[in-house]
Amino acid sequence: MSARWRPLPKELKISPGNPLLAGAVPHSEGVFFSVFSRHATGMILCLYEHPHDKTPTASLRLDPFRNRTGDIWHCFVHNLKPGALYMWRAEGPFDPHNGHRFNPNKVLIDPYAKALTDGSLDLCSALAYDDSKPDKDLTFSSTPNDCCMPKCIVVEDDFDWEGDTPLNYPLKECIIYEAHVRGLTQSLSSKVKHRGTYRGVVEMIPYFKDLGITSLELLPVQEFDSSERYRKNTVTGEKLSNYWGYSPIAFFAPKSMYAFPEGSDHESFAPEFPVKEFKYMIRELHKAGIEVILDVVFNHTAEGNELGPTLSFRGFDNSIYYMLAEDKRYYRNYSGCGNTLNCNHPVMRSFIHECLRYWVVSMHVDGFRFDLGSILGRDSQGNLLSNPPVIELIAEDPILRNTKIIAEAWDAGGAYQVGSFPGGRWAEWNDRFRDDVRRFWRGDDGFAPHLATRITGSSDLYLKNGKRPFHSINFVTSHDGFTLNDLVSYHQKHNEANGEENRDGISENFSSNYGFEGPSTSPYIEETRNRQIKNFFATLLLSIGTPMILGGDEFRRTQAGNNNAYCHDSELTWFDWSLLKNHKDIVRYVKMLIAFRKEHRAFRREDFFTGESSEHEGNGKDTQPDISWYDENGAVPQWDKLGKVLIARIHEHNGNGLPCYCYLLAFNASPEAVQIILPQEPTSEPWQRVIDTSLDSPHDIEEREYPLLTNSKTYLMAPRSFVLLILEPNAH
């Protein structure tokens, strides 16, 4: 197959264009181009024949009188076709101390580019980063960068969606599975045809359906420089990379590397291929009933601090797009990555808004998780606003109204807003759930009351703000931190391979190795770890709120104790699917837990528990409280004296004359066995066991719903175990 980059017309004619059409918009007679810059004095559109061209085939200078409306530079290039390659040059003052970094020698990525050419990003990094000159940002560089910059591609938005629309499941019905597009299938153990690609994700659909998840949350797919990290793995000597992708360079463009199979000739594919492959992935996942949530990074870009490369925003209008310090040579850094986007400036606010609309309307995604979301609430000076315009805009936008919006409600500048993130309908990653659940199961004293709050929806965080339990995204592990296997296998982080002398990553993980650091051959230690993993999954999937599973935890994926594996594109982070066979008991257990959650609405309730009975239509007064609490003696707990045992009885009235289910959830984090007294019910029906994590598979969770009878008044709980009992008091 021959290369398919579009040749340029022999004669190039430009006319004023349309300032309302952002980016590059193809038309039957040519292409509209526009870009924002308030302080530029000149703008040049560069057109190329091939991705690695060292010089443009054509450079079209825009007339500031005919091709500028306000701050928008625009033109229409006649006879140009989709697939054309382009970049911009911006002329203006180079005055870092006043915030201006214009340099016409540097070609710039269009912030609205829908796709970038592949294969140029490594070269871009090699040229752009030069930390050997500490004051290089005060020097005007005359070195052109055309040859080593990825080129923007004019993309036509045509695709046969076959009637597809976003699924937009209600949050309370969702079970989220967090994964990395490449890492999911890059290992040979995945046995898929298209390893590490969007199509590879599609090939995993049968597994996702069998597991029972509803929502796939993908780590960043907006184009980023995968070679941004230039340190070496201090263990193997291999070059490290920007694997996670939390450093975007083009917010509208899907990561092109994820479109192409390993070893393929990228230039033999049509220019718009990455966009079409992403759309294909979304369409096929939707056909299977699986929605897609994108992890998006609107807090910083890959341009870094004052010593970083000029790739896009910095060269178009640095003082508008970024938060700058009092000496505007420097950047305010609330992201921990060198710069912070000026999200509440009207220009940046509109950019974020239009970008989200594009991913929903043109790409059909179902939701977004906003990395370091608290930065969206800061003004240009870094102050947290009480009613941030961009957060309200996203929440109230009519097109995004059914789209999921999930905040990581903190940032690297000290903001922490879990339970108080502004903007109304925003959901939040609940790290309080993560930490309290970890500490309870580790056996820390005094955490049973905290567990009670977390498993019932974290009302202490969300009730006062008028939010619902499903606004709490509950998780025990995520990409950032230990995997679940490592949480029960390592007492300390082991990030030496990151090249930062193990200084990076969170130091306190509330983890335990149960007697040996790392992999163990001890049957006792392995049985304890398996049991704790099952305890964590039961707590997560039977808690009120929206559960999120870290992909691979269900078969004990490990990162060898590395809790910050952002820079490893290797077997360390790729899913090892051979572990499915080794841990099929846990996979079965998780699959059945998910099915149980879906079948019993008590664990998907919309409202917080009240501890009181309630009226139900057609059934009169229900005298049973919706939740009751007990200690191991069957008494009402003294919360300040509660030990390592917690028991909750949930009463769920289904209405319409259907049976009222009762559930007994018993948690024992003690290293000792505990005999618990069961609540006595006003019915002759006995409690029946569904789950006991101390039992071997298949009795850890029963195949049939209620096969085992518990006729006694007590139940002996094994050390570090979870038990779920159930009864139908009105069944007969």
Active site members: 371, 408
The two structure tokens encoding residue 699: 């009795």
The two structure tokens encoding residue 78: 């006649």
Distances (CA, A) of 207 to 177, 211, 554: 12, 6, 12
Ordered alpha helix ranges (H), 152-204: 181-185, 198-203
For residue 281, which phi and psi values (nearest 5 degrees)?
Answer: -60, -45
Rounded to whole angstroms, the Cα distance separating 437 from 547 reads: 13
- N- to C-terminal Cα separation, the chain: 70
Q: 341 pairs with which residues across the strands?
A: 322
Residue 460, H or E segment: helix 459-462
Closest CA to 604 of 446, 418, 472: 472
How would DSSP label each residue in 301-344? -TT-STTS---SHHHHHHHHHB-B-SSTTSB--SSSSS--B-TT
**Around Cβ 581, how many Cβ atoms within 10 Å?**
9
Long-range CB pairs of 314-317, under 8 A, 24+ apart, other chains included: 314/101, 315/90, 315/101, 315/102, 315/103, 315/106, 315/108, 316/35, 316/36, 316/37, 316/40, 316/88, 316/90, 316/108, 316/111, 317/36, 317/37, 317/38, 317/39, 317/40, 317/90
Instruction: Pick left, alpha or beta for residue 636 (phi over 0 → left; psi -120 to 50 → alpha; otherwise beta).
Output: beta
Rounded to whole angstroms, the Cα distance separating 494 from 481 reads: 11
Rounded to whole angstroms, the Cα distance separating 374 from 334 reads: 9
In three-state secondary structure terms, 450 is helix
Distances (CA, A) of 477 to 218, 536, 694: 15, 10, 22
